[in-house]
């Protein structure tokens, strides 16, 4: 063994190349428009991986192999320049001119080597610059990305509690739990919001809130569409978002825009500024600020029961809801939430200390208030709100009345009018029995619609130090902190168990997500004769701690009032307050270490191999993940690429421990009921088959090609195949029978709550296989006069299929007691089984053309969405009482966006944009509108609010 080791060391030593004489070139890069030094410009020796970047003063120094070498200068949004190194050249100064983006962008995500071209990447990466992010009527980053990336989907959630306030997305059909978000290459924390009532694809997810990063702060957004757990840690199954912040040390960039929908609502305003300041002569401080306000929209119709109530003399339910500037506001409100006081600030700073060392820091603070509506609480008829206006159901339903004095001669339940009585009879009863009997009709004669929202706060900070030459050992030490704090509120509702003493405003609970990360990494290019380029050896270790905390609501929000024993619901109706006995703090630390190798084995072959060890030492133990990537340069114009990787995701502490009581549509889709979201370890959950959560595991493969059809035309095609096993998701709403209800009440496991009708919990219940193709054809040309044209066609096909799920189980005993009538329970409802495969369009196409000529610029974007299917009324069974299908099929559509702009004078531009030019939207099924009031299906994959206008002014002040 000793001899083998000696020979190995000798061979390794002999394989190191001897350095040859090189030419040293230095200089300064300036911004042609501002005449200011240009930091962060990528400089590469053409045809090699030798490269560097300009410092905060725009200066650079690079060693090139020989005279006759070409240096390439690139920066996102600027025209690429090439300069030949001639004999005797030691200094090179130049200016970069702003351009329209092509595929020449340099990216850092997906590899730990020096930044490289998108088309030289072994993994598929999308890059979007400031112009792409700004050319939208929407001020919401989720909508902005949806219109740019065909594999990125997000819906409008009208009445879905937390999902209305922080919308969950999907990438390649997978939830935001399977996406890692980076800022400047460092992991960003999750939001404290969990989407308990989202779509079938992302219900229960807990992703990052990207609206807490001002878009004006971004120099570019890189989207890695590939599994990358071995490189970036747990959760990176569907892909990675890297938000690269601006680094300019001079200049003030201002953006102001306002707009609204053609319906006259949803008025929005945005004011943003980016300021670059020098931090001594060797650093930069870049500050970004954004204020945003977006008014609510109303896309609702008259519900069947509301119309019936009006016929019987009841005042309109809209008397207890905001009018939203309308003459005839409906009682049931569907649409976008009201977003107000959204203020976000972000800082990015770097200071060069010495020739090869930088101290850096970045972070931000954000806050906003977001508010939406809940379902209408009807004050009469058979659909009257249970345990508030009604007791019982079906033929046995009666009007709910509180007996204020059970010792007098009046038995209120004997004299109260029936649910089908006219309003005049209700008024007469209230007048006659005032002080003895109480109806909520007294304070809410037309019923009520709760208003639900949250004050959302976000804080993040990362600091570190990095160093090392580009051709030597490069290292990085950093510490990151992130915090998301959400304080929920609800008003225009009651704690019915308190009767006439109930307040109408509550603070039901608060959630907080806190994450800390300490990381150390290093990389070294090792010269090896056998390889065409140095072998880049990257290693790193990381410690991360994730904590989720829940805070109890005000006492009235969960109090069991004196009328609870008469059958009235407990807690703030719609979103019950959190009892202190169920609040808590849960954390999970983990340690990881990785090795990442990458090199050009030959001039044609690029190979990469990564491995990662992660240890969740408090619960899940350790796991290993790996990734192999390859790029083959078949010709100078054709590249073939592919990857194979494994991945995993652990449940968040919140998913493993959350307790929440909410109001939702029953699984039948026709009644509002109290639903309990319980931890999987809770005795009630365990009695229904729940088990402690385990991690998800994944296998991923990609195969693709990049073709330079001409100098201006590039084609990329990538096939992907992702198998995700033991997926973590919420069960459907499990009905609680009257017998089970009695057993639960006797056990007193719910803090006095006795009106739960359905239960749900997180489980590892099913496996899926997701396959698809990403296609991009990009044309980009610019003439010497600065006129430019860009055109892209991006197509995505994503098909997700259920591979397996847990078999239905027989429930014959509950909490240790035998059930007289056993029942069969399936954790994955028929609705979920269908919508996992059908709710997202399988085919999406984004076609975009942009042209700049002199002072004028224009953009036309077409988004095609194939048809999709969804279950009406969110019915769990997706069939009605007569076993008739409730699966609705919707036709595909093309959504056109148009923008025209004019440069008023140097540095000032004005633009007018129209999103959804032809006001295209689907109509909800008539029965869904009559039963729950929405006139547009909530599953619509684009913004169902319709046509939107925007006026934008952009200025570079100096």
Give 651's DSSP letter: P
Task: Answer yes or no: is pLDDT of 399 > 70.
Answer: yes
From 444, 497, 416, 446, select the one nearest 318 (Cα to Cα): 446
Task: Answer yes or no: is pLDDT of 485 > 90.
Answer: yes
* Each residue's pLDDT tens digit, 843-869: 999 999 999 888 899 999 999 999 999
Which range of 116-130, 154-168, 626-640, 753-767 scores highest in mean pLDDT? It is 626-640
* Each residue's pLDDT tens digit, 258-288: 999 999 999 999 999 999 998 988 889 999 9
3-state secondary structure of 279: coil
- Window from 146-150, 385-389, 630-634 with minimum mean pLDDT: 146-150
DSSP-assigned states of every residue in 542-586:
EEEEEEEEEEE--HHHH---TTGGGTPPPSBTTBPPPPGGG-EEE
Kindly state the average pLDDT of the residues 92-118. 65
Task: Answer yes or no: is pLDDT of 872 > 70.
Answer: yes
Report the pLDDT value the prediction gives residue 320, as an integer from 0 to 100. Answer: 65
Task: Answer yes or no: is pLDDT of 103 > 50.
Answer: no
Structure tokens at 785: 């006069």
Report the pLDDT value the prediction gives residue 17, as an integer from 0 to 100. Answer: 37
Place of tokens 């390649």: 172
Kindly state the average pLDDT of the residues 556-572. 93
Distance CA 828, CA 678 (A): 16
Q: How confident is the model at residue 791 (pLDDT cuts 50, 70, 90)?
A: very high
From 412, 452, 459, 451, select the one nearest 435 (Cα to Cα): 412
- Report the share of the chain in percent with pLDDT over 90: 63
| Burial annotation 18-48 (CB, 10 A radius, 16+ → b, else e) | eeeeebebebbbbbeebebbbbbbbbbbeee
Task: Answer yes or no: is pLDDT of 450 > 90.
Answer: yes
Distance CA 290, CA 168 (A): 22
Place of tokens 């990216």: 107
From 366, 549, 550, 335, select the one nearest 456 (Cα to Cα): 366
Report the pLDDT value the prediction gives residue 207, as an integer from 0 to 100. Answer: 94
Which domains are assigned to the chain? Answer: 2-98 (2.60.40.1120), 125-299+334-375+449-956 (2.40.170.20), 390-438 (no CATH)
From 651, 841, 849, select the one nearest 152 (Cα to Cα): 841
* Each residue's pLDDT tens digit, 142-186: 888 898 899 999 988 888 889 989 999 999 999 999 999 999 999
H or E, element range at 72:
strand 70-74
Decide: 219 and 213 in contact? Cβ < 8 Å.
no
Task: Answer yes or no: is pLDDT of 26 > 80.
Answer: yes
Kindly state the average pLDDT of the residues 116-144. 80
Kindly state the average pLDDT of the residues 744-763. 84
Q: Strand 843-853 vs strand 817-825: parallel, antiparallel, or unpaired?
A: unpaired
Decide: 486 and 512 in contact? Cβ < 8 Å.
yes
Report the pLDDT value the prediction gives residue 3, as an integer from 0 to 100. Answer: 45
Q: How confident is the model at residue 665 (pLDDT cuts 50, 70, 90)?
A: low
Report the pLDDT value the prediction gives residue 110, as an integer from 0 to 100. Answer: 63
Structure tokens at 124: 């598929």
Task: Answer yes or no: is pLDDT of 107 > 70.
Answer: no
Average pLDDT, the chain: 89
- Window from 413-422, 645-654, 666-675, 790-799 with minimum mean pLDDT: 666-675
Dihedrals φ, ψ of 451, to 5°? -110, 125
Task: Answer yes or no: is pLDDT of 464 > 50.
Answer: yes
Using CB atoms within 10 Å of the CB of residue 767, give its burial: 0 to 12 exposed, 13 to 18 middle, 19+ buried: middle
Give 809's DSSP letter: E
DSSP-assigned states of every residue in 492-540:
S--BGGGGGG--SEE--EEEEEEEEEEEEEEEEEE--TTSSS-EEEEEE
From 576, 538, 534, select the one nearest 554 (Cα to Cα): 576
Decide: 885 and 892 in contact? Cβ < 8 Å.
no
- Window from 13-22, 256-265, 525-534 with minimum mean pLDDT: 13-22
Task: Answer yes or no: is pLDDT of 16 > 60.
Answer: no
Report the pLDDT value the prediction gives residue 133, as an integer from 0 to 100. Answer: 80
Kindly state the average pLDDT of the residues 832-844. 94
Higher pLDDT, 663 or 339: 339
Higher pLDDT, 187 or 45: 187
Task: Answer yes or no: is pLDDT of 874 > 90.
Answer: no
Q: How confident is the model at residue 20 (pLDDT cuts 50, 70, 90)?
A: very low
Structure tokens at 284: 């930069």
Q: How confident is the model at residue 7 (pLDDT cuts 50, 70, 90)?
A: very low
- Window from 7-11, 188-192, 549-553, 656-660 with minimum mean pLDDT: 7-11
Report the pLDDT value the prediction gives residue 939, as an integer from 0 to 100. Answer: 93
Length of the chain, please? 958
Task: Answer yes or no: is pLDDT of 742 > 90.
Answer: no
- Window from 2-11, 64-73, 247-256, 708-717 with minimum mean pLDDT: 2-11
Decide: 44 and 81 in contact? Cβ < 8 Å.
no
Higher pLDDT, 753 or 871: 871
Residue 540, C-beta contacts closer than 8 angstroms, at least 6 positions apart:
519, 520, 521, 522, 593, 594, 596
Which range of 136-140, 393-397, 680-684 scores highest in mean pLDDT? It is 680-684
3-state secondary structure of 66: coil
Cα Rg of the chain, angstroms: 30
Place of tokens 């997700």: 800
- Window from 102-116, 246-260, 403-417, 473-487 with minimum mean pLDDT: 102-116
Give 906's DSSP letter: T
Kindly state the average pLDDT of the residues 888-907. 93
Place of tokens 């000529």: 853
pTM: predicted TM-score of the whole model, two decimal places: 0.89
Higher pLDDT, 751 or 248: 248
Q: Which of left, alpha, beta for 621 (phi over 0: left; psi -120 to 50: alpha)?
A: left
Distance CA 172, CA 723 (A): 12
């Amino acid at each position: 063994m000793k001899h083998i080791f000696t020979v190995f060391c000798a061979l390794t030593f002999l394989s190191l190349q001897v350095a040859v004489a090189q030419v040293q070139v230095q200089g300064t890069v300036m911004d042609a428009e501002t005449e200011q030094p240009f930091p962060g410009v990528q400089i590469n020796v053409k045809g090699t991986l030798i490269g560097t970047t300009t410092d905060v003063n725009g200066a650079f120094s690079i060693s090139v192999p020989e005279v006759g070498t070409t240096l390439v200068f690139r920066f996102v949004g600027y025209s690429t320049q090439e300069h030949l190194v001639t004999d005797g050249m030691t200094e090179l100064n130049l200016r970069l001119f702003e351009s329209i983006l092509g595929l020449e962008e340099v990216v850092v995500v997906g590899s730990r080597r020096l930044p490289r071209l998108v088309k030289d990447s072994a993994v598929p990466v999308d890059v979007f610059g400031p112009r792409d992010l700004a050319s939208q009527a929407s001020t919401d980053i989720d909508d902005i990305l949806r219109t740019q990336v065909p594999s990125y989907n997000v819906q409008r959630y009208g009445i879905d509690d937390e999902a209305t306030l922080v919308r969950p997305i999907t990438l390649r059909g997978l939830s935001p739990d399977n996406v890692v978000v980076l800022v400047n290459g460092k992991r960003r924390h999750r939001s404290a919001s969990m989407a308990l009532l989202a779509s079938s694809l992302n219900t229960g997810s807990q992703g990052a809130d990207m609206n807490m990063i001002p878009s004006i702060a971004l120099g570019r957004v890189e989207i890695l569409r590939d599994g990358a757990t071995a490189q970036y840690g747990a959760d990176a199954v569907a892909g990675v978002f890297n938000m690269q912040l601006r680094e300019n040390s001079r200049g003030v960039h201002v953006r102001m825009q306002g707009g609204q929908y053609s319906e006259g609502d949803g008025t929005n305003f945005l004011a943003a500024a980016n300021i670059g300041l020098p931090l001594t002569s060797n650093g930069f401080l870049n500050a970004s600020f954004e204020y945003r306000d977006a008014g609510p929209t109303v896309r609702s119709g008259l519900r069947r029961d509301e119309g019936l109530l009006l016929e019987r003399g009841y005042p309109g339910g809209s008397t207890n809801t905001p009018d939203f500037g309308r003459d005839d506001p409906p009682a049931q409100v569907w649409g976008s939430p009201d977003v107000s006081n959204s203020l976000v600030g972000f800082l990015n700073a770097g200071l060069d200390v010495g020739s090869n060392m930088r101290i850096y820091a970045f972070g931000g603070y954000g806050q906003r208030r977001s508010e939406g509506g809940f379902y209408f609480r009807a004050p009469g008829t058979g659909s009257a709100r249970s345990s508030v206006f009604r007791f019982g159901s079906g033929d046995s339903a009666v009007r709910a009345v509180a007996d204020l004095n059970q010792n007098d001669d009046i038995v209120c339940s004997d004299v109260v009018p029936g649910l089908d009585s006219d309003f005049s009879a209700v008024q007469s009863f209230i007048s006659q029995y005032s002080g003895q009997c109480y109806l909520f009709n007294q304070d809410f004669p037309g019923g009520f619609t709760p208003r639900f929202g949250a004050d959302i706060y976000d804080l993040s900070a990362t600091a570190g130090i990095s160093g090392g030459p580009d051709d030597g050992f490069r290292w990085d030490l950093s510490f990151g902190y992130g915090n998301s704090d959400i304080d929920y509120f609800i008003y225009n509702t009651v704690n019915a168990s308190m009767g006439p003493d109930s307040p109408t405003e509550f603070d039901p609970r608060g959630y907080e997500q806190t994450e800390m990360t300490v990381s150390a990494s290093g990389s070294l290019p090792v010269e090896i004769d056998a390889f065409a380029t140095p072998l880049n050896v990257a290693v790193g270790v990381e410690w991360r701690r994730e904590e989720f905390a829940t805070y109890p609501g005000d006492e009235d929000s969960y109090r069991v009032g004196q009328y609870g024993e008469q059958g009235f619901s407990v807690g703030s109706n719609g979103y019950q307050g959190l009892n202190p006995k169920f609040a808590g703090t849960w954390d999970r630390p983990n340690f990881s270490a990785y090795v990442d190798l990458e090199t050009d084995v030959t001039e044609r072959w690029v190979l990469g191999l990564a491995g990662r060890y992660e240890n969740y030492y408090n619960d899940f133990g350790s796991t290993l993940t790996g990734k192999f990537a390859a790029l083959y340069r078949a010709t100078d114009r054709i590249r073939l690429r592919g990857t194979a990787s494994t991945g995993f995701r652990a449940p968040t502490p919140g998913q493993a421990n959350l307790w929440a009581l909410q109001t939702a549509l029953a699984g039948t889709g026709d009644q509002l009921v109290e639903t309990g979201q319980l931890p999987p370890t809770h005795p009630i959950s365990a009695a229904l088959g729940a088990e402690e959560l385990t991690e998800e595991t994944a296998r991923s493969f990609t195969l693709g090609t990049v073709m330079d059809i001409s100098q201006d035309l590039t084609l990329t095609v990538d096939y992907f195949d992702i198998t995700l096993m033991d997926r973590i998701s919420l069960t459907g709403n499990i009905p609680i029978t009257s017998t089970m209800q009695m057993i639960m009440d006797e056990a007193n496991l719910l803090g006095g709550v006795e009106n739960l009708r359905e239960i749900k919990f997180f489980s590892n219940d099913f496996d899926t296989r997701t396959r698809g193709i990403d296609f991009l054809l990009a044309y980009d040309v610019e003439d010497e006069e600065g006129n430019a044209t860009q055109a892209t066609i991006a197509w995505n096909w994503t098909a997700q299929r259920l591979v397996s799920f847990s078999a239905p189980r027989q429930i014959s005993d509950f909490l240790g007691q035998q059930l007289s009538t056993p029942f069969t329970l399936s954790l994955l409802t028929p609705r979920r089984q269908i919508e996992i495969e059908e709710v997202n369009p399988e085919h999406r196409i984004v076609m975009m053309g942009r042209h700049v000529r002199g002072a004028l610029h224009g953009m036309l974007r077409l988004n095609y969405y194939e048809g999709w299917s969804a279950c009406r009324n969110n019915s769990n069974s997706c069939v009605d009482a007569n076993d008739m299908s409730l699966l609705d099929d919707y036709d595909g559509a093309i959504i056109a966006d148009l923008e025209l702009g004019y440069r008023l004078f140097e540095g000032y531009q004005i633009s007018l944009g129209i999103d959804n030019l032809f006001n295209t939207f689907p109509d909800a099924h008539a029965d869904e509108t009559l039963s729950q009031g929405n006139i547009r299906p909530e599953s619509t994959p684009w913004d169902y609010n319709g046509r939107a206008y925007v006026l934008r002014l952009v200025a570079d002040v100096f």
